[in-house]
Structure 1
Amino acid sequence: MTENASGFNADAGSLSAELRRKILAGEYRHDERLPAERSLARQFGCSRGTVRSAMEKLEELKLIERRVGSGTFVNHHATADETEIANITSPLELIDVRMGMEPQIARLAVINATAVNLRKLENSLLELENLPADCSPESFTVADQSYHLALAECTGNALMIWLCQHIHEVRSHRQWSSMKDKILKPAQIRIYNRQHRSIYEAIVSRDIETAEQATIEHLETARNDLIGAAR
């Protein structure tokens, strides 16, 4: 992982994580035009190709919108109600919501996923698996959210996709930062990625029961890790 003089790790995962942080923190506001690729490359000490890859990731997460001939604009606009809910929702409460929703996402993904959906899900999984061993918690979080959003898209259900996006927004708030730093160590990331692959393989095999069970196992692991980090 290349590090520039300012200490920033100049890879696409770290850059997308940093830009995501700025967008969610309101440093880049809704409908604001982002700096050009050349300016961002100079600012963060990386190549334009790295900037382009980071932008593609943010576009997948629906945080930015590219307008031909105009540039790239922020597509995130948190309302006061959303921010308040995010601030009062504990990590364990969010896991409870995910427990109620994500096994159903896995079930619908088995039933409805198209070949295009499965290719996107596989690409998201490979991105997770190919992250450097010393990747930052934020870099993993961005790739993890991309995987889970691709999984939601496999359902073909617009409301499921919308709910998944809002869950990601809750996970971006400050009470999660210390938890991520405690939990997302290399050994635990490897466990999560094995579980991600198990979910993917069950969906590709059109195995509803295994997909649901693999999802439950993944969420139970996350719950136990959160409880351990809170002690």
Structure 2
Amino acid sequence: MKEQHALVAELVPFLLSRGYARNERAPSERELAVRFQASRPQVREALSVLEALRLIERRPKSGIYLTTESASIEALALFAELGIPLSREELNQTAEVRRIQEIEAVRLACRRHDDANIDELRRCLGEWDRAIAAGEPVGELDRDFHCGLVKATQNMVLLRLVNIFYLMTKRQREFYFRNRDRRRQSNAEHRRIFQAVLERDEERAVQLLDAHLVSADSYWNGLLPS
């Protein structure tokens, strides 16, 4: 029997690659079961996952239809996990949403952070220093720092939303931080942002974080074809 995750990983790129029009019916459960050598109950369960992510719609007595234009943000994280590239426009829009979320988050963090949040951010920065000295990866530490800032807002829904972005960009961050100078620069920028949050200086924290995010986004935009 195929595991559900494996079947989902096969179904998504297959359905997306076919380029179905808005009201064009996709293959039936039976056809998909034959194609992927799975049972119909297995296919049905995998399709339920895609329906929950709003990637497909199953219409009674009609069939299966793609609805990627209304896909959930979790679906974008799934695309990243499966190695399905986003368009340049989708990447730009995702980065824009991230900036909106994190800029507001750092404002709230300045107002709401407690001692536990500050201690967690300090530990993260200490791990950065250790990782840089040892030549170890820092991609997940980058995620820990940014999510630590959002955690300091005391808004766990916002934290879950921001965390999805970092799940989506895990591979990109691993590549980005291969460069030693980038690791050091990002660490220095994180420390300045941390100090502004510690001092509850909202405007400085916003300016520093915005410049930090724009710098990273500019790097990726420079690599993408026009």
Match in the other structure for 2:124: 124
Deviations 1:119-155 (A, max 9, x none): 111111221232135745xx31111111112111100
Q: After the TM superposition, which of the residue ranges 150-159 and 126-135 deviates more from structure 2?
A: 126-135
Q: Which has the larger radius of gyration?
A: 2
Secondary structure (helix, strand or coil) at the match of 1:156 reads coil
Deviation at 1:91, TM superposition (A): 4.0
Q: CA–CA distance in 2 between the matches of 1:118 and 1:83?
A: 29
Give the alignment's TM-score, normalised by structure 2. 0.59
Match in the other structure for 2:163: 165
Deviation at 1:184, TM superposition (A): 3.6
Q: CA–CA distance in 1 between the matches of 2:103 and 2:118?
A: 17
The alignment yields a C-alpha RMSD, in angstroms, of 2.4
Q: CA–CA distance in 1 between the matches of 2:92 and 2:104?
A: 19
Shift of the 92–111 alpha-carbon distance from structure 1 to 2, 3 Å rule, reads same
Shift of the 134–227 alpha-carbon distance from structure 1 to 2, 3 Å rule, reads farther
Give the number of the structure with larger relative contact order, counting CA–CA contacts within 8 Å between residues 6 or more apart.
Answer: 1
Corresponding letter in the other structure for 2:190:
H
Q: CA–CA distance in 1 between the matches of 2:102 and 2:126?
A: 20
* CA contact 1:107–1:211 (8 Å) conserved in 2: yes
Match in the other structure for 2:201: 207
Match in the other structure for 1:85: 76
* CA contact 1:183–1:226 (8 Å) conserved in 2: no
Tell me how many residue pairs correspond in the alignment: 149
Corresponding letter in the other structure for 1:130:
R
**Which 5+ residue runs of structure 1 have no aligned equivalent?**
1-25, 28-78
Shift of the 182–114 alpha-carbon distance from structure 1 to 2, 3 Å rule, reads closer
Matches within 5 A, 1:126-165: 126-133=126-133, 135=135, 139-165=137-163
Match in the other structure for 1:41: none
Q: CA–CA distance in 1 between the matches of 2:74 and 2:199?
A: 39
Secondary structure (helix, strand or coil) at the match of 2:132 reads coil
Q: CA–CA distance in 2 between the matches of 1:199 and 1:147?
A: 10
Query: What percent identity do the matched residue pairs reach?
Result: 22
Match in the other structure for 1:192: 186
Secondary structure (helix, strand or coil) at the match of 1:130 reads helix
